[in-house]
Amino acid sequence: MTRRQDQGGTATWTTEVLVIGGGFAGLEVGRALGRAGIPTMIVDRRNHHLFQPLLYQVATAALSAADVAEPVRKILRRYRSVQVILGEVEQIDATLCRARLGGGEVISYRHLVLAPGSGHSYFGHDDWAAHAPGLKTIEDARSIRSRLLVAFERAERCTDPEEKRRLLTFAIIGAGPTGVELAGSISELGRLTLAREFRTIDPASIRIMLIEAGPRILSGFPEEMADYARDRLARRGIEIRTKTPVEHIGPEQIRMAGQSIDVGLIIWAAGVRPSPLAAQVAETDRGGRAVVDARLLVPGFSNVFVLGDAAACPDAEGNPLPGLAQVAQQQGRHLGRALVAHIRDNRPLPEFRYRSRGNTAIIGRHAAVFDHHRFKLRGWIAWLAWALIHVYLLVGFQNRVLVSTQWLWRYLTEDRGARVIDGEVAEKAALQKGPSSDA
């Protein structure tokens, strides 16, 4: 176990390994170290590990927050040598091997594993954040869900046709997997679920725009799969605008290609920015990711590792690996094992090799793409494979049962369960106050 001391009112802990972040990477490191009984502290700003690949389903009212979140300390509870701390690391002094928490406590470590993940990047337009929420946390998902459902509620109540049209126009910026999944899921929510329940909304009047600055959607996938996805999305009535950088985002308005469009909701799925903690211990690349070698080690140190979204780790060709959940998970597993052998038997640290298990993007009911080298699936079978894989990857047996039950239920009924509009948003909408007032 870790030791604690009180020195002049400030608590100081000492631990063999300090892991910062309880995401896919940090959790795997913690597991490996815990299994070996090595004293470890895991610090995270949230009490829960988040299964981010399904977060868009929380944002579109298909799943509950608790279905995709599991407490970090519950996942690691069997490992007595691992202590989980809800806290925010404010400063790292890698030379002195110390990290300081927001409350002033100091953690003194022998090895540091930095896996803090990433937030949104608005490419220098931080003022856009207020009008175009991104999707990284439970609160992001709840906020998008509330705004989405409130747009429909307001439209139902609205008697001005122009305002009604605006309320039912949704803009998603960024056509990577998250953007595509959000567009598909919102379209189904509107067409299948909500259309049955509203009296004054014509489902055909719901307008969904998927906006991408690059030349095509799903740039990480082969072109033929992106074409398939594009075709499927278009059949569902989703407008795709590629080569269209967004010029301005205001409250309920978006400008692109010189044209302003009034919208009911804007969602940001375009850019991520690694946690600024990475820059405290390492050189960063253009995207803000810490440059590490293939052992995940920060050059110049023998005990500081960065992995996951915050790391620019080279692949076999020397190109940095993408910020994917499976990259983070494999890095965590690799480093966990490597550290155990290193700490116990002083073994050298091996290099990390990424093995892609395939990429998926879900378009909607019965439609998805799955890409794994020569093995490419699309349509029904990719959709089923996606569902099975994601349920399997969920942490916690209860979550698997609950998510499966809900998916099966939704599939059979074309319904959604988790349609709670949160308090503050509901109150504003009820009073019709705020920028989109009808009055």
The residues in 200-259 that bind its own copies, with binding defined as CB under 8 A, are: none
Stretch that binds its own copies, among 171-179, 195-203, 215-223, 384-392 (CB under 8 A): 195-203
Q: Which two tokens stand for residue 63?
A: 């799943």
Which one is catalytic: 28, 153, 181, 252?
181
Q: How many CB atoms lie within 10 A of CB 214?
A: 15
Q: Which two tokens stand for residue 265?
A: 């909701």
- For position 261 contacting its own copies by CB under 8 A, the verdict is no
Stretch 390-419: interaction string toward its own copies, x if CB under 8 A: ------x-xx-xx--xx--x---x-x-xxx
Interface pick for its own copies out of 234, 257, 388, 430 (rule CB under 8 A): 430
Query: Tokens 């988040």 label which residue?
Result: 50
- For position 104 contacting its own copies by CB under 8 A, the verdict is yes
The residues in 155-174 that bind its own copies, with binding defined as CB under 8 A, are: 156-157, 159
Interface pick for its own copies out of 27, 54, 85, 249 (rule CB under 8 A): 85
Q: What 3 state SS string does 307-324 have?
A: CHHHEECECCCCCECCCC
Which string of b and e fits 344-354 if b means at least 16 CB within 10 Å?
A: eeeeebeebeb
Interface pick for its own copies out of 3, 103, 381, 411 (rule CB under 8 A): 103
Interface pick for its own copies out of 204, 260, 431, 435 (rule CB under 8 A): 431
Stretch 306-335: interaction string toward its own copies, x if CB under 8 A: ------------------------------
CA distance 217 to 240: 8
Radius of gyration of the chain (CA): 23
Edge-to-edge strand ranges of the sheet holding 207-211 = 238-241, 207-211, 169-173, 265-268
| CB distance 26 to 331 below 8 Å | no
| CB distance 165 to 174 below 8 Å | no
Catalytic, 427? Answer: no
253 strand-pairing partners: 250, 262
Residue closer to its own copies, measured from CB, 247 or 424: 424
Q: What is the phi-psi region of residue 423: left when phi exceeds 0, alpha when psi lies from -120 to 50, beta otherwise? A: alpha
Q: What SS3 class is residue 422?
A: coil
The site for its own copies, by CB under 8 A, has a size of 71
Q: How far is the CB of 426 from its own copies (least distance, A)?
A: 5
The residues in 10-49 that bind its own copies, with binding defined as CB under 8 A, are: 11, 45-48
Residue closer to its own copies, measured from CB, 81 or 330: 81
- For position 130 contacting its own copies by CB under 8 A, the verdict is no
| Positions marked catalytic | 181
